[in-house]
Amino acid sequence: MKTSPSYAIASVDHALQLATVLQVEGSLGVKEAAERLGVARSTAHRLLTMLVYRDFAVQDDRRRYLAGPVLSLGAQSQSRTALLRTVALPHLEALVERVHETVNLQILAGDHVRFIASVECTQALRVGDRTGMVFPAHLVSGGKLMLAGLPDSQIEAYYAEDKWADRPGERPDLDALRRELRTVRERGFAINAGRTEAGLTAIGRGVRTHGDQVEAAISVSMPTVRFSEERLSHLISVLALTARDIEQDLASRG
């Protein structure tokens, strides 16, 4: 499992957190940045100014900060991502209270998955915050769920040999992947058993919108030592309830 490096530099960590927020959520003011990081406004302002200097951010006419050329996403994508995160967070927090493990919200970005929100549990041994991290979709529980909702032609395009020519050892066997995705569709959940990090197990469930399309995924991540087959049915059940609640809230917002 990933742990904070012993040589961690707080200012660098804060700058990276702000860059992630700008990329996945959209605009940010100095006051909001300070509150998000738990620092003084002057510190937040210096961090944002440096991000502007390095083209990670730009400032608009309202003196709010937006993702710059290095990080820019389309406005529609930012808006939808921010909405997903805002709607899901209270449900993720409630899920943590029920399972006492770290939970995550993920979206698909091509053949990768981006974690757009994490809520950590309070256990001493736990999976850390994954917000902003990116992993190959076919390895992650939520990624498998979102891939399983795509047409076969899109899967073939993502995993065509020529796209993986510079990393052939990482390309999944397409037939095996299709079989796995078929199983995921039938079960309605997916498991990542140490495929992204040794000692970590994650269970995922899709969040469906727009006529049964899997738009996002939620997952419970835990140290493998706390996972068991007996616990699986409970995790699947509470994930299903959480996904349903998020879907209903999203539908109510149009």
Q: What is the pLDDT of residue 76?
A: 46
Angle, CA 161 vertex, CA 158 and CA 165 arms, to 5°? 110
Characterize the bridge pairing of strands 213-223 and 102-109: antiparallel
The answer on 245 and 210 residing in a single domain is yes
The answer on 194 and 104 residing in a single domain is yes
CA distance 177 to 152: 11
Weakest-pLDDT range from 98-102, 128-132, 173-177, 226-230: 128-132
The answer on 245 and 190 residing in a single domain is yes
CATH of the domain at 20: 1.10.10.10
Total number of domains in the chain = 2
Question: Which domain does 137 fall in, by range?
Answer: 75-252
CA distance 11 to 185: 43
The answer on 126 and 172 residing in a single domain is yes
- Mean pLDDT for 39-66 is 89
Contact 77, 92 (CB under 8 A): no
The helix or strand, by DSSP H or E, that contains position 82, with its residue range, turns out to be helix 75-99
Q: What is the pLDDT of residue 4?
A: 55
CA distance 161 to 159: 6
Q: What is the pLDDT of residue 23?
A: 81
The answer on 84 and 49 residing in a single domain is no
The answer on 54 and 156 residing in a single domain is no
In a domain, 123, yes or no: yes
The answer on 49 and 113 residing in a single domain is no
CA distance 154 to 1: 31
- Mean pLDDT for 16-44 is 90
Using alpha carbons, select from 226, 204, 227 the residue that is nearest to residue 216. 204
DSSP 28: B
- Point out the domain boundary residue: 67, 90, 105: 67
Does the pLDDT value for residue 5 go beyond 90?
A: no
- Point out the domain boundary residue: 48, 67, 86: 67
CA distance 12 to 38: 15
Q: What is the pLDDT of residue 77?
A: 58
The answer on 103 and 41 residing in a single domain is no
pTM: 0.73
With bands split at pLDDT 50, 70 and 90, how would you rate the model's confidence at 254?
A: low
Contact 143, 137 (CB under 8 A): yes
* Residue with token string 């796995």: 180
Q: What is the pLDDT of residue 9?
A: 80
With bands split at pLDDT 50, 70 and 90, how would you rate the model's confidence at 213?
A: confident
Does the pLDDT value for residue 216 go beyond 70?
A: yes
In a domain, 1, yes or no: no
The percentage of residues in the chain with a pLDDT greater than 90, rounded to a whole number, is 63
In a domain, 3, yes or no: no
The answer on 53 and 131 residing in a single domain is no
Question: How do residues 144-182 score in pLDDT, each as one tens digit?
Answer: 999 999 989 889 988 988 888 877 888 999 999 999 999
CATH of the domain at 185: 3.30.450.40
- Mean pLDDT for 191-218 is 92
With bands split at pLDDT 50, 70 and 90, how would you rate the model's confidence at 31?
A: very high
Average per-residue pLDDT in the chain? 89
